[in-house]
């Protein structure tokens, strides 16, 4: 037993070191990535289920280190958070999204939605920087939606939560929309929603698959209840990760206004967004 224990410790140490190395390699790469122009944005359409029209596009970060393979955001964003690099990367993403989305808004009236990280949101100059970027790109405020998560609002205690809620409420009062991302994966009760300055709920992908699974009756009742409660609070809902026609049909019948997922389109480069907007394939 002792030998096995020792062994386990050795294996554990090895894994830990390997992860550290990985982490520090990613961190070093990230430090150079902005200046080297290695980031780009891919955009995924958010589709209006009633009309089949494109309502908005979500900007999703892509990192392709020079001469290497693209590294997924689920891998590099936690490292960017740990190192604080996410703040500059996040501002780059907002800036780039506003620049690229301007013509889509002008020609097709669609909004762009941009993910914000917790650290970026807690920056003292968050509000001013958002407003300044919008002004510089002459993008109407209602053409931008910021995506935040419940955990970001709750992470650092009631005083900080109140400060951040105040900032989001202020941005909202100026026309910027706020979406609560990954809804259903956090802790907050539905009643709590009423107190948050949000316009849109994004229901996490983990709710979508069960809609057409073995326990679909219960799953549908649950999602329908969220959609209806959101509507009664004046909020819109986006269901994420819609992969099948059957799922889209179920959501449409329960009155869910918006959906996003591979059924409609994966995240695509900006030039393909132009083609998609011209083609309006789901109308
Ligand atoms: P998210 O904000 O929840 O974004 C949705 C993720 O689901 C995206 O992964 C998207 O490609 C993927 N997805 C969309 N439709 C489907 C589907 O039908 N099926 C499946 N299986 N997946 C689908 P992606 O692009 O890898 O991004 C992962 C996460 O990284 C995002 O999750 C978000 O939390 C974070 N992220 C991405 N871009 C940014 C950014 O600019 N800033 C910050 N702070 N976080 C970002
Ligand atoms: Ca998101
Ligand atoms: Ca999400
Ligand atoms: Ca997510």
Which residues on adjacent β-strands are paired with residue 62? 40
Q: Indicate whether this model's pTM tops 0.80.
A: yes
Q: How far is the CA of 83 from the centre of ligand 4 (A)?
A: 19
Q: How far is the CA of 202 from the centre of ligand 4 (A)?
A: 10
pLDDT of residue 67: 87
Residue 170 and residue 127 in contact, taking contact as beta carbons nearer than 8 Å: yes
Q: What is the ipTM score, two decimals?
A: 0.98
Q: How far is the CA of 182 from the centre of ligand 4 (A)?
A: 6
Which atom belonging to ligand 1 lies closest to the Cα atom of 117? 44
pLDDT of residue 132: 98
pLDDT of residue 3: 45
Ligand 1 binding residues, C-beta < 6 A? 44, 60-61, 72-74, 77, 90, 93, 115-117, 181-182, 205, 241-243, 260-262, 267
**Residue located nearest, by CA, to atom 22 of ligand 1:** 241
Nearest to 164 by CA among 223, 122, 206: 122
pLDDT of residue 19: 61
pLDDT by residue for the chain (283 residues), tens only, comes to 344 444 455 454 555 555 665 889 999 999 999 999 999 999 999 999 999 999 999 999 999 999 888 999 999 999 999 999 999 999 999 999 999 999 999 999 999 999 999 999 999 999 999 999 999 999 999 999 999 998 888 877 889 999 999 999 999 999 999 999 999 887 666 777 888 899 999 999 999 999 999 999 999 999 999 999 999 999 999 999 999 999 999 999 999 999 999 999 999 999 999 999 999 889 8
Nearest ligand (C-alpha, residue 96): 1
**Residue located nearest, by CA, to atom 20 of ligand 1:** 241
- Strand 111-115 with 54-63, pairing: parallel
The alpha-helical segments, DSSP class H, found in 207-244 are 216-232
Ion ligand 4 residue ranges (Cβ < 5 Å): 182
d(CA 269, CA 271): 6
Residue 90 and residue 116 in contact, taking contact as beta carbons nearer than 8 Å: yes
Q: How far is the CA of 180 from the centre of ligand 4 (A)?
A: 11
Q: How far is the CA of 181 from the centre of ligand 2 (A)?
A: 5
Nearest ligand (C-alpha, residue 204): 3
Nearest ligand (C-alpha, residue 152): 1
pLDDT of residue 156: 77
């Amino acid at each position: 037993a002792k030998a096995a224990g020792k062994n386990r410790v050795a294996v554990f140490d090895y894994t830990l070191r390997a992860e550290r190395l990985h982490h520090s390699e990613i961190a070093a790469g990230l430090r150079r990535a902005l200046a080297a122009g290695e980031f780009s944005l891919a955009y995924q359409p958010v589709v209006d289920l009633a009309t089949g029209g494109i309502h908005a596009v979500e900007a999703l970060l892509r990192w392709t280190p020079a001469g290497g393979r693209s590294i997924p955001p689920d891998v590099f964003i936690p490292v960017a958070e740990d190192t604080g690099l996410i703040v500059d990367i996040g501002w780059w993403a907002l800036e780039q999204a506003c620049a690229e989305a301007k013509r889509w808004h002008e020609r097709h009236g669609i909004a762009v939605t941009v993910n914000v990280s917790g650290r970026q949101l807690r920056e003292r100059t968050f509000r001013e920087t958002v407003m300044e970027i919008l002004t510089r790109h002459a993008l109407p405020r209602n053409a931008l939606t910021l995506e935040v998560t419940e955990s970001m609002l709750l992470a650092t205690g009631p005083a900080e939560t109140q400060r951040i809620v105040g900032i989001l409420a202020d941005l909202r009062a100026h026309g910027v929309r706020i979406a609560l991302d990954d809804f259903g994966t956090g802790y907050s009760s539905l009643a709590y929603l009423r107190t948050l300055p949000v316009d849109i709920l994004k229901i996490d992908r983990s709710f979508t698959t069960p809609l057409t699974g073995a326990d679909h009756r219960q799953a549908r009742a649950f999602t329908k209840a969220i959609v209806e409660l959101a509507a009664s609070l004046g909020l819109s809902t986006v269901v994420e990760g819609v992969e099948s026609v059957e799922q889209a049909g179920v959501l449409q019948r329960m009155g869910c206004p918006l959906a996003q997922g591979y059924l409609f389109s994966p995240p695509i480069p900006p030039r393909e967004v132009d083609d998609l907007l011209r083609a309006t394939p789901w109308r």
